[in-house]
């Protein structure tokens, strides 16, 4: 049995994201994607559209001075969803983020249509970005 196509798509998304290749990343996100970033911090919110979602990614990199890094722990994929178990690290104003989280992607026609972040300790994420 071969690799699920949405798993291969996630691998391409990860490579594009971690190398900062937003042009390649755009190939995997629907123009009307909705990105849900939970919490009570300046980057929390619902970002509607690819432009808004990508601007939130850029803000993470800018606020962390380019230190924001993601490591893949595991990925599950089917026809409708990709669930990625991840670990993030970053530095921001003397604070350190070092935490597990998950992203749930809803897929449509081979592209991310919606995404939800779920952090292990949301309160510490809020404190980190605030």
**Alpha-carbon gap, residue 48 to 36, rounded angstroms:** 9
- DSSP code for 130: -
pLDDT at residue 1 in the model: 61
Taking the complete model, does pTM exceed 0.85, yes or no?
yes
Q: What is the CATH number of the domain that holds 89?
A: 3.10.450.50
Q: Which residues of the chain have pLDDT under 70?
A: 1
Range of the domain at 83: 5-129
pLDDT at 45: 97
Calpha distance 100→42 (Å, rounded): 20
- Rounded Cα distance between 90 and 119, Å, is 14
Which pLDDT value is given to residue 13? 95
The number of distinct structural domains making up the chain is: 1
pLDDT at 2: 75
């Amino acid at each position: 049995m071969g690799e699920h196509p949405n798993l291969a798509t996630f691998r391409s998304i990860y490579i594009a994201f971690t190398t900062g290749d937003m042009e390649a990343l755009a190939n995997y996100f629907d123009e009307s994607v909705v990105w849900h970033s939970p919490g009570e911090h300046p980057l929390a919110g619902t970002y509607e559209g690819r432009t808004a979602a990508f601007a939130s990614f850029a803000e993470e990199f800018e606020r962390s001075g380019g230190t924001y890094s993601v490591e893949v722990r595991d990925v599950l994929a089917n026809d409708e969803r990709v669930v990625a178990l991840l670990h993030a690290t970053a530095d921001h104003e003397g604070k350190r983020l070092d935490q597990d989280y998950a992203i749930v992607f809803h897929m449509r026609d081979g592209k991310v249509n919606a995404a939800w972040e779920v952090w292990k300790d949301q309160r510490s994420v809020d404190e980190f970005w605030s």
